[in-house]
Amino acid sequence: MDFENGSVKLTLDGETLWAHIRGEIDHHSAKSIREAIDTLLASSAPEALILELSGVTFMDSSGLGLVLGRYTKATEAGIAFSVTGATERITKMFDMAGLDRIIDYKERNTSK
Amino acid sequence: MKKNCENAMKAEFPSLSQNEALARALVSSFVMQLNPTVSELADIKCAVSEAVTNCIVHAYRDTVGTVYLSLKSYSDRSVKIEIKDRGCGIEDIASAMQPMFTTDREGERSGLGFTVMESFCDKLRVTSKPKKGTKVTLTKSLSRLCAN
Ligand SMILES: Nc1ncnc2c1ncn2[C@@H]1O[C@H](COP(=O)(O)OP(=O)(O)OP(=O)(O)O)[C@@H](O)[C@H]1O
Ligand SMILES: [Mg+2]
């Protein structure tokens, strides 16, 4: 059975903070991912925060909470927020939660 | 049509957050015997994760209690999954099941767990008694096996 506990790798690229999340995001793993992002978000004060989700293999409503929570935090601090790399499965979750009204997670530049 | 129970399994574990992944793995292994589609399996894993997480974060909020999991598969390719706790119970089930309803105070829960369970399963039944506990029953019918 291949499952990997959710984890995050953070990289600061100029004024942009990238959070590459991978593995399974549930209530158990969300806590440390949240803390890691929030700590660097506060100390580096970037202009933008991007959650990169292409390595996420599972997400439930705790993942929705994680994304929405970071959206709220960033927006309140005047930091631009975006999500990239959402798989078909994650897009299904986001759609169900009505996230498309506040966050743009659908890749526009699909070839052509 | 008469349907027979073909396989069954029970498990119980303490309400520790690392057991959310354990519950998903158990249910996956059980359902895998029925050759579900990738998306059916993902739906089931997600719904189970919601119900088990609710036992851990809500039912046994400030304590550790036991989470009871029961799995059954039937001859018509339906799967019935019961997730039970003896925790705080739910006062008003109808309100609790409304999208965006949450009693979470830390502010990182979105109140979408029941919505996920409802949309990823064919049937969701919730019974609960305050101070006694809650039982969530999820039913999902798997599509027919195709010859491959
Ligand atoms: N097993 C349970 N025992 C006691 N209360 C529960 C239980 N399951 C759910 N609840 C109550 O129902 C509410 C709604 O649950 P739901 O899973 O939909 O949202 P949530 O857990 O609050 O947030 P999310 O699942 O999106 O992280 C909870 O906030 C809680 O008050
Ligand atoms: Mg929940």
CATH of the domain at A10: 3.30.750.24
* Owning domain of residue A78: 2-101
Centre of ligand 1 from the C-alpha of residue B104, in Å: 8
**How many pairs of residues across A and B have Cβ atoms under 8 Å apart?**
68
Q: What is the pLDDT of residue A2?
A: 54
In the predicted model, is pLDDT for residue A111 greater than 90?
no
Instruction: Indicate whether residue B133 lines ligand 1 (CB < 6 A).
Output: no
The number of folded domains in chain A is 1
Count of C-beta atoms within a 10 Å radius of residue A47: 11
Q: Which residues contact B32 (CB under 8 A, 6 or more apart)?
A: B41
Low-confidence residues of chain B: pLDDT under 70: 1, 146-148
Sheet holding B5-14, edge to edge: B5-14, B66-74, B78-85, B133-141, B123-129
Whether A12 is covered by a domain: the verdict is yes
B35 catalytically annotated: no
- Which ligand does the CA of B56 lie closest to? 1
A65-96 pLDDT, tens digit each: 999 999 999 999 999 999 999 999 999 999 99
Distance from CA of B74 to the nearest CA of A (A): 24
The number of folded domains in chain B is 1
Whether A108 is covered by a domain: the verdict is no
Distance from CA of A13 to the nearest CA of B (A): 27
Whether A78 is covered by a domain: the verdict is yes
pTM of the predicted protein model? 0.95
The whole-number average pLDDT for the span A42-65 is 97
Q: What is the pLDDT of residue A73?
A: 96
Whether B71 is covered by a domain: the verdict is yes
Q: How far is CA A55 from the centre of its chain?
A: 11
Whether A111 is covered by a domain: the verdict is no
Q: What is the pLDDT of residue A1?
A: 45
Q: Are strands A48-59 and A80-84 parallel, antiparallel or unpaired?
A: parallel
The whole-number average pLDDT for the span A28-32 is 95
Q: How does residue A15 score in pLDDT terms, banded at 50, 70 and 90?
A: very high
Whether B143 is covered by a domain: the verdict is no
Whether B147 is covered by a domain: the verdict is no
Find the closest chain B residue to A24 by CA distance: B21
Q: What is the pLDDT of residue B68?
A: 98
d(CA B15, CA B57): 8
Which residue's structure tokens are 């349907």? B3
Whether A106 is covered by a domain: the verdict is no
Q: Which two tokens stand for residue B97?
A: 């099941």
**Spatial contact of B44 and B113, defined as CB atoms under 8 Å apart:** no
**For the residues of chain A, what is the DSSP string, one character each?**
----B-EEEEEEETTEEEEEEEEEESHHHHHHHHHHHHHHHHHH--SEEEEEEEEEEEE-HHHHHHHHHHHHHHHHTT-EEEEE---HHHHHHHHHTTGGGT---S-S----
In the predicted model, is pLDDT for residue A109 greater than 60?
no
* Owning domain of residue B116: 5-137
**Domain of B9: which CATH number?**
3.30.565.10
Q: What is the pLDDT of residue A3?
A: 64
Whether B107 is covered by a domain: the verdict is yes
Q: What is the pLDDT of residue A25?
A: 97
Q: What is the pLDDT of residue A107?
A: 75
Q: How does residue A112 score in pLDDT terms, banded at 50, 70 and 90?
A: very low
